């Protein structure tokens, strides 16, 4: 995937060195490096304006950063960082999740400058906390909706699109992982497929019968002549590796055809769906699920272990004590009630 930035992009050498280190030494993906570039460019642009290095009315997008020096970065204080966070929240209207990512970018950048290259002796981001982000359950398709989506795939490129959706729903792939699948990494005989995940880390994905049959149905129809990327499993109409945007468009259109358009579903929600269905219907252990999804931290996987109200009801009813009646309490209550009746009747008996 091509970079957002280029070698001659508007950036100071210190930022260029950091991005190269992140990509070549740390092995981060081009997508992650691009996010660092965009986040840090916004940060440095804001700081130049805030510290009156440019006129106050200068649009942020018009502020160059190629003249930023390490001395300028060293002059930035924790108080300045708070001003930047205020700007992101009130002027940019960034969500807590977006602000949290930008704080993480700053943490990584300053850690590099202080600990790796020793260009700075003070790290103001050490006291900069991540914004609190609300914990929400991931949106996903139900089993019935998933079946409806698969059943609605028809028309042009139906074999390719059915295969794409099947892999999403059965393997829990990320969009970038699906787009990057190469033909020689798919081994139907072994029921495995190797994908390139976050941080350029490879992992083996196991293919069930649905996945293998979908791939077998698609391969004979995959173009061979005039293909620009002969290694790519999924090709676009231009006979080149299918792009993330094209896959997103395909999923959007197929969701519409299934009557599921406009409900907030997307390619990433299909990944949520795969994880949820495996956990809820397949009784998959959370650590196995962590491996399937390619998560480094178990905490990331735990968001998929939400339980439906039906499961909660079944769990409550499955308790071996669910049908035990408190007989002694019932007996005591009955005796008390009988005693009360006798007490009320006694005056009449005396008459």
Indicate which residues carry an active-site annotation.
Answer: 174, 198, 268, 271, 295, 304
Spatial CA neighbour of 48 closest among 60, 36, 38: 60
Spatial CA neighbour of 292 closest among 307, 278, 273: 278
d(CA 58, CA 31): 29
- Residues 172 and 278 sit within 8 Å (Cβ to Cβ): yes
Spatial CA neighbour of 257 closest among 157, 123, 115: 157
d(CA 168, CA 265): 13
User: What is the C-alpha radius of gyration for the chain, rounded to an integer number of angstroms?
Assistant: 29
Question: Which helix or strand (DSSP H or E) is residue 338 part of?
Answer: helix 327-350
- Residues 192 and 205 sit within 8 Å (Cβ to Cβ): yes
Dihedral sign for Cα atoms in the order 106, 111, 114, 118: negative
3-state secondary structure 190-256: CCEEEEECHHHCEEEEECCHHHHHHHHHHHHHCCCCCCCCCCECCECCCCCECCHHHHHHHHHHHHH
What secondary structure letter does DSSP report for 182?
B
């Amino acid at each position: 995937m091509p970079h957002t930035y280029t070698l001659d992009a508007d950036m100071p050498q210190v930022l260029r060195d950091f991005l190269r280190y992140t990509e070549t030494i740390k092995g981060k993906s081009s997508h992650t490096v691009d996010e660092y570039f965009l986040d840090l460019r916004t940060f440095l642009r804001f700081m130049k304006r805030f510290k009156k290095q440019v006129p106050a009315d200068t649009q942020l997008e018009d502020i160059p950063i190629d003249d930023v020096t390490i001395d300028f970065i060293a002059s930035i204080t924790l108080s300045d960082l708070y001003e930047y966070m205020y700007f992101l929240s009130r002027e940019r209207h960034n969500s807590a999740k977006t602000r949290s990512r930008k704080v993480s970018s700053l943490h990584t950048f300053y850690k590099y400058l202080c600990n790796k290259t020793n260009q700075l002796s003070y790290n103001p981001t050490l006291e900069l906390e991540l914004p609190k982000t609300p914990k929400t359950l991931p949106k996903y398709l139900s089993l019935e909706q998933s079946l409806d989506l698969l059943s609605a795939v028809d028309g042009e490129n139906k074999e390719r699109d059915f295969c794409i959706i099947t892999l999403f729903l059965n393997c829990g792939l990320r969009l970038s992982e699906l787009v990057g699948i190469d033909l020689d990494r798919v081994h139907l005989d072994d029921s495995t497929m190797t994908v390139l995940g976050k941080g350029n880390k490879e992992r083996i994905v196991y293919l069930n019968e649905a996945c293998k049959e979908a791939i077998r149905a698609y391969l004979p129809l995959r173009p061979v002549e005039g293909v620009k990327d002969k290694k790519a499993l999924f090709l676009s109409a231009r006979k080149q590796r299918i792009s993330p945007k094209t896959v997103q468009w395909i999923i959007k259109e197929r969701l519409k055809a299934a009557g599921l358009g406009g409900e907030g579903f997307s390619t990433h929600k299909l990944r949520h769906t795969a994880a949820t269905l495996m956990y809820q219907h397949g009784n998959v252990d959370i650590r196995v699920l962590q491996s399937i999804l390619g998560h480094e931290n178990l905490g990331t996987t735990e968001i998929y272990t939400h339980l439906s109200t039906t499961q909660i009801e079944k769990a409550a009813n499955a308790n071996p004590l669910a049908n035990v009646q408190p007989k002694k309490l019932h007996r005591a209550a009955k005796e008390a009630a009988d005693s009360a009746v006798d007490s009320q009747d006694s005056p009449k008996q005396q008459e």
